[in-house]
Structures are given as structure tokens and as C-alpha cells.
Amino acid sequence: MRRIATPLLALLLIAGQPARAADTKGIITLSCEGTVRSGPGPGDVERVNERVIFVNLAEHTVTGLVTSTGSALIANIVHVDDTSVDFIGDSTSSFVFGTIDRVTGATTAHTTTWARDKSLGGKSTRGLSYYLVCKATNRLR
């Protein structure tokens, strides 16, 4: 009973909070285009149009990139200065790292996803490499 009561109580407390507008202070919204590569062959490159990446300087996160299975990734900013933002993140089945050049907009990110593959009797690994040029669509407040 205690296992059910605790999450239920938390939900009731959250539901009772007044709704607040999303705080966008410190968030840079980037509109990006370029390519994503899923393998070494010429057919393994896809064009990317209108990819949106959010750089949240207040929370030190980068979001908007996905794995080869379509799962959204949240990366932590590990370095930021006037010229670049470096990020890295992982979950139980994926990993991401990359950099955003704040001067040119050049953005490179690499994702790796792994899973058990019963037919192969082990793990399978798939990766994506993003090569994008991004432009900020908002100004920092």
C-alpha cells in the first residue's frame, strides 16, 4: 500500500500547483539544417531540414537530437564560452556527444544506441552523426 500511496500523494501535490508559463530565459532555440549519416556508404546520408535544437544555459542542457531508434536525447553542457557549447549525455541504451560553434553555427553531434540482438546472440550498435548549420531563432533575455 505504501508503494502506491507515495506516488499518488506526489501526483496530488503536483496537480494542486498553479499552472505557470514556461520560463524561456536562458534558452537558445536553434533552427538547423544539414545532413545525418547512419553508416559509411553513400546511401547512408540523409538531408536534415528544420531540426530544432534547444540550448538551455540555465539548466545546462541540450535537447532536440534523436537516436537511430527515434528516442529523444538530453545532453548535459560540459563547457560553454563565447565561441562554443560542448555537450555529452547518456542513458541506459544510448550515448551522445557534440559541439555547437556559437560563431558559425556549425554543429556536430554523434549518437550511439545499443540493444540486445537475439538473432546475433549479443548486442547490436547503431550510430548517427549529425553535421548541421544552425541559426538562433530567438534572442536571449
Q: What share of the chain is helix, strand, coil (3-state, %, to 5)?
A: 10, 55, 30
- Looking up residue 29, the CATH number of its domain turns out to be 2.40.160
Q: Say yes or no to pLDDT of 138 above 50.
A: yes
List pLDDT tens digits, range 15-39. Answer: 333 333 344 568 999 999 999 998 8
Domain contains 13: no
On the question of pLDDT at 87 being above 70, the answer is yes
Of residues 67 and 87, which shows the higher confidence score? 87
Nearest to 115 by CA among 96, 94, 131: 94
Task: List strand residue ranges (DSSP E) for the chain, in order.
Answer: 27-37, 45-56, 61-66, 72-80, 84-90, 94-101, 106-117, 122-136
* Domain interval for residue 42: 21-136
Task: Please tell me the total count of domains within the chain.
Answer: 1
Q: How far apart are CA 28 and CA 54, in angstroms?
A: 6
